[in-house]
């Protein structure tokens, strides 16, 4: 990012030293337009023929102005193209001076594309588009202006003097005067004149406005060069005073001619103004160039049909240049006129002061090259901005990814901390449970054992008959049973699960202890996954099993008991069957504990079923392995 910013600062500094983007010039003559095509890859070309080989320093391409049928800036400018110079004759060598056919050329907008020709000699210049501009599903090639620079001169003005035959194209369409081949060299561009940064102290020359309702003569203005000089071109810069800021062509004559004289009283040599340089095709602020190629001392602009503004006949011109070779020889020359306004910024001297109505006039080549450089730097800045935006988006995505990763790690860390706290609390609860179990075993077990021993000693030393002996015997039995029950509960509390063999082992031990003297057998199915039973279910299963065995020993008068533990899908089934005298389950007594059995089983979404007859009783307890 620092490197991109450094490049951006460097480019911005370069921009500061380049010509400013000129105001858009609106002109009715837009340029040249090819036929429409359904394919953007159709080749279209336009060719400028100078008539003879001339030195060319640069070719300048300018897109049409955003006016009339054009839509957006850079309208019609080809996406891929090449420019070639052709010598005299059809068989001479062709020199390609620019080739932009490998990748799309950035849309130049309203700024020029200057292509150096390095002073090569050429008679023709051809611009060939290999990938056309596309808009609204149509493909085409359009240009606003093609300038051929030789020093400070635009050779395109000579082509306009030759006429439409000097410009050929693969195709051409559009209504005049908007579109036409000759419009490509008429000097009407979106850029306007080449202006510097110095504000103009004057507005230019203006005749005395005369009401068209009064008698009037066509006005004229003349520049005296002081001596006979070779006159190559006469350039006219339209006036544009502030009070007519939104009106182009103020005072520019409808028809006019340039009159050249070597002596004041000579018959003038007449140069007609180009079709593009008349009020009928307003040039805006663009320069109108009249090609001469003759010698003269006096150069006169003679109005043939005047401009009428607010009912007054008037001639106005910001600047009149007379070019001889590479130099404008008009500055400082004497200026005479049919009449003139000498106030409010208007004067005869202002016609040759080097200023338009707005700013100083600068040479074409450097100004156009500066604008072309501005276009290139502006594109480079746009590329840098796009790269910067792409990097910013990448960093944003990376930042979001890092943030998401940090959040995920935070959540994982929080879960791990919670899990650690849970394990810590579980360990603390487990330690507490172990202490409680140990305390039960040590304290209560010891006390109950002492009660049983005391009862046994009393029985051994005391009387052998009577109710007291029976009571002591019952106390001893209850104490023994309570110690046994407490031992089982303590064993349960000291382990979260009995493990694979603990529950079957405990069932066997309990049956052997409680069914002493009664023939019994236990069948444990190896597929019964008792280790999956939760601790509380194992505990209640043991308690229900003891309750069942207790009922058998006290009430059934059975001689055989069959016990089985087997799986049933996601449950385990404990079955206890005896051959006792049976009972009526509907007439259950409070001492049988059958209600308690059903309640314990229902607590775990299980069931306790009892069937009984005179030949025995069957108890079936079913508990699910999972909650």
CATH of the domain at 603: 3.30.565.10
Q: Are residues 211 and 353 in the same domain?
A: yes
Asked whether residue 481 is domain-assigned, the answer is: no
Query: How does residue 446 score in pLDDT terms, banded at 50, 70 and 90?
Result: low
Asked whether residue 478 is domain-assigned, the answer is: no
590, with CB counted inside 10 A (0-12, 13-18, 19+), is exposed
Q: Are residues 173 and 223 in the same domain?
A: no
Whether residue 75 is predicted with pLDDT greater than 80 in this model: the reply is yes
Q: Are residues 209 and 101 in the same domain?
A: no
Query: How does residue 500 score in pLDDT terms, banded at 50, 70 and 90?
Result: very low
Q: Are residues 168 and 94 in the same domain?
A: yes
- Of the candidate ranges 137-146, 258-267, 466-475, 561-570, the one whose mean pLDDT is the lowest: 466-475
Q: Are residues 146 and 204 in the same domain?
A: no
On whether the pTM is more than 0.75, the answer is: no
Q: Are residues 170 and 39 in the same domain?
A: yes
Q: Are residues 206 and 328 in the same domain?
A: yes
Q: Are residues 137 and 60 in the same domain?
A: yes
Nearest Cα neighbor of 356 from 242, 221, 207 is: 242
361, 384, 412: which is the final residue of a domain?
A: 361
Residue with the bigger pLDDT between 88 and 448: it is 88
Residue with the bigger pLDDT between 531 and 242: it is 242
Q: Are residues 109 and 220 in the same domain?
A: no
* Mean pLDDT score, 576-597: 77
Q: Report the CATH number that the domain containing residue 159 is assigned in CATH.
A: 2.60.120.260
Query: How does residue 499 score in pLDDT terms, banded at 50, 70 and 90?
Result: very low
Q: Are residues 236 and 179 in the same domain?
A: no
Pairing assessment for the beta strands 334-337 and 359-361 based on DSSP bridges: unpaired
CA distance 29 to 184: 9
Residue with the bigger pLDDT between 126 and 11: it is 126
Q: Take residue 568 and report the two structure tokens written for it.
A: 């049933």
Asked whether residue 205 is domain-assigned, the answer is: yes
- Of the candidate ranges 88-92, 419-423, 578-582, 615-619, the one whose mean pLDDT is the lowest: 88-92
Contact 573, 622 (CB under 8 A): yes
Q: Are residues 152 and 261 in the same domain?
A: no
CA distances from 328 to 201, 206, 310, 321, 351 (A): 20, 21, 34, 6, 13
Structural domains counted in the chain = 3
Asked whether residue 410 is domain-assigned, the answer is: no
- Of the candidate ranges 49-53, 129-133, 271-275, 277-281, the one whose mean pLDDT is the lowest: 277-281
166, 185, 204: which is the final residue of a domain?
A: 185
Domain of residue 614: give its range. 510-624
Query: How does residue 43 score in pLDDT terms, banded at 50, 70 and 90?
Result: very high
pLDDT at residue number 586: 75
Query: How does residue 69 score in pLDDT terms, banded at 50, 70 and 90?
Result: low
Whether residue 441 is predicted with pLDDT greater than 70 in this model: the reply is no
Whether residue 209 is predicted with pLDDT greater than 90 in this model: the reply is yes
pLDDT at residue number 79: 96
Asked whether residue 396 is domain-assigned, the answer is: no
pLDDT, tens digit (0-9, with 9 covering 90-100), for 306-318: 988 888 999 999 9
318, 341, 361: which is the final residue of a domain?
A: 361
Contact 320, 222 (CB under 8 A): no
Query: How does residue 212 score in pLDDT terms, banded at 50, 70 and 90?
Result: confident
Asked whether residue 448 is domain-assigned, the answer is: no
* Mean pLDDT score, 561-572: 92
Alpha-carbon dihedral 59, 65, 70, 76, rounded to 10 degrees: 20
Asked whether residue 54 is domain-assigned, the answer is: yes
Q: Are residues 128 and 41 in the same domain?
A: yes
Contact 18, 368 (CB under 8 A): no
pLDDT at residue number 50: 93
pLDDT, tens digit (0-9, with 9 covering 90-100), for 331-386: 999 999 999 999 999 999 999 999 999 999 999 999 999 999 999 999 998 888 88
* Mean pLDDT score, 500-510: 79
Whether residue 246 is predicted with pLDDT greater than 80 in this model: the reply is no
Asked whether residue 200 is domain-assigned, the answer is: yes
Q: Report the CATH number that the domain containing residue 224 is assigned in CATH.
A: 2.60.120
Mean pLDDT, the chain, integer = 87
Whether residue 613 is predicted with pLDDT greater than 50 in this model: the reply is yes
CA distance 195 to 193: 6
């Amino acid at each position: 990012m620092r490197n991109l910013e450094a490049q951006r600062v460097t480019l911005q500094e370069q921009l500061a030293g380049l010509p400013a983007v000129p105001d858009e010039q609106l002109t009715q003559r837009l340029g040249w337009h090819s036929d429409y095509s359904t394919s953007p890859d159709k080749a279209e070309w336009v060719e400028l023929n100078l008539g003879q080989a001339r030195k060319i320093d640069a070719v300048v391409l300018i897109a049409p102005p955003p006016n009339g049928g054009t839509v957006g800036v850079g309208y019609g400018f080809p996406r891929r193209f090449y420019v070639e110079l052709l010598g005299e004759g059809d068989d001479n060598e062709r020199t390609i001076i620019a080739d932009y056919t490998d990748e799309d050329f950035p849309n130049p907008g309203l700024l020029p594309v200057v292509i150096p020709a390095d002073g090569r000699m050429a008679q023709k210049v051809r611009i060939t588009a290999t990938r056309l501009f596309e808009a609204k599903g149509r493909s085409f090639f359009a240009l606003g202006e093609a300038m051929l620079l030789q020093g400070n001169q635009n050779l395109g003005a000579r082509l306009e003097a030759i006429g439409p035959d000097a410009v050929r194209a693969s195709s051409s369409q559009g209504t005049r005067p908007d579109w036409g081949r000759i419009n490509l060299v008429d000097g009407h561009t979106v850029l306007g004149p080449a202006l510097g940064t110095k504000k103009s102290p004057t507005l230019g020359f203006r005749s005395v406005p005369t009401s068209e309702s009064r008698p009037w003569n066509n006005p004229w203005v003349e520049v005296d060069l002081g001596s006979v000089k070779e006159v190559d071109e006469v350039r006219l810069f339209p006036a544009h005073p502030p009070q007519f800021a939104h009106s182009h062509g103020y005072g520019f004559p409808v028809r006019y001619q340039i009159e050249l004289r070597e002596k004041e009283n000579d018959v003038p040599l007449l140069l007609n103004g180009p079709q593009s340089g008349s009020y009928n095709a307003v040039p805006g602020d663009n320069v109108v160039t009249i090609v001469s190629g003759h010698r003269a001392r006096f150069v006169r602009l003679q109005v043939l049909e005047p401009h009428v503004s607010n009912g007054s006949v008037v001639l106005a011109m910001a600047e009149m240049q007379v070019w001889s070779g590479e130099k404008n020889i008009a500055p400082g020359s004497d200026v005479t006129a049919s009449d003139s306004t000498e106030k409010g910024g208007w004067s005869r001297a202002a016609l040759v002061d080097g200023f338009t109505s707005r700013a100083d006039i600068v040479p074409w080549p450097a100004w156009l090259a500066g604008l072309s450089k501005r276009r290139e730097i502006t594109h480079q800045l746009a590329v840098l901005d796009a790269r910067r935006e792409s990097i910013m988006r990448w960093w944003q995505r990376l930042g979001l990814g890092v943030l998401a990763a940090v959040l995920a790690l935070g959540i994982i860390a929080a879960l791990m901390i919670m899990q650690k706290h849970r394990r810590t609390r579980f360990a603390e609860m487990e330690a507490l449970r172990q202490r409680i179990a140990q305390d039960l075993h040590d304290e209560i077990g010891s006390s109950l054992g002492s009660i049983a021993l005391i009862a046994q000693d009393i029985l051994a030393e005391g009387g052998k008959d009577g109710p007291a002996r029976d009571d002591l015997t019952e106390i001893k039995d209850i104490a023994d049973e309570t110690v046994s029950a407490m031992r089982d509960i303590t064993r349960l509390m000291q382990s979260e699960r009995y493990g694979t063999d603990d529950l079957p082992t405990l069932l066997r031990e309990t049956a052997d202890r409680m069914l002493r003297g009664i023939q019994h057998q236990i069948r444990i199915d190896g597929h019964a996954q008792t280790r999956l039973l939760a601790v509380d279910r194992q505990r209640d299963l043991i308690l229900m099993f003891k309750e069942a065995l207790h009922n058998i020993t006290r009430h059934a008068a059975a001689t055989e008991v069959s016990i089985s533990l087997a799986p049933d899908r996601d449950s385990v089934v404990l079955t206890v069957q005896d051959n006792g005298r049976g009972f009526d389950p509907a007439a259950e007594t409070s001492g049988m504990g059958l209600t308690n059995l059903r309640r314990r089983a229902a607590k775990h979404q299980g069931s306790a079923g009892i069937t009984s007859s005179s030949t025995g009783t069957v108890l079936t307890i079913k508990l699910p392995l999972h909650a």
